[in-house]
C-alpha cells in the first residue's frame, strides 16, 4: 500500500500556491511584471516579495530586475523546475482528494 501523497511545503502555503498557479497559466518562458502579478493576486508588495523570495530560494521562480528606458522593472517567471513542482503538486493533490495514485 502506498502512503498519503506528500504536498510540496514550498508551494502549499496559500499565498505561494496562488503565485505559482498564476505563473503556471503563462506559457513556458513567459514572464510578468511584479506590479501586474501584485495586482492579479491583490497582495501587498511586501507580502508578495516575501513569498517570491521563498519560491526563488527553491528555484521555482526567476526574478529579473532590469530597466526599460530609465524605469526599473522587475519580471517574474516560473522556472522549468517550478512548473514541474507545480504539476507534481497538483497531481498529488488530485490523488489525495480522489484517492487515486
Asked, for residue 63, whether it belongs to a domain, the answer is yes
Asked, for residue 46, whether it belongs to a domain, the answer is yes
**Gap between the Cα atoms of 86 and 15, Å rounded:** 14
Question: Number of structural domains, the chain?
Answer: 1
32-33 and 71-78 strand pairing: antiparallel
Supply the pTM of this predicted model.
0.88
Asked, for residue 67, whether it belongs to a domain, the answer is yes
Give 27-81 pLDDT, tens digit per residue: 999 999 999 999 999 999 999 999 999 999 999 999 999 998 899 999 999 999 9
Whichever domain contains 36, its CATH number is 1.10.10.10
Domain interval for residue 63: 9-98
7: left (phi > 0), else alpha (psi -120 to 50), else beta?
beta
Amino acid at each position: 500500500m502506498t502512503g498519503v501523497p506528500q504536498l510540496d511545503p514550498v508551494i502549499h502555503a496559500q499565498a505561494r500556491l496562488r503565485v505559482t498557479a498564476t505563473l503556471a497559466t503563462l506559457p513556458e518562458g513567459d514572464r510578468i511584471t511584479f506590479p501586474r502579478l501584485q495586482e492579479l493576486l491583490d497582495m501587498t508588495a511586501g507580502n508578495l516579495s516575501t513569498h517570491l523570495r521563498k519560491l526563488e530560494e527553491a528555484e521555482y521562480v526567476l526574478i529579473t530586475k532590469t530597466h526599460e528606458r530609465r524605469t526599473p522593472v522587475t519580471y517574474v517567471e516560473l522556472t522549468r523546475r517550478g512548473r514541474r513542482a507545480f504539476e507534481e503538486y497538483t497531481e498529488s493533490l488530485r490523488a489525495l482528494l480522489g484517492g487515486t495514485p
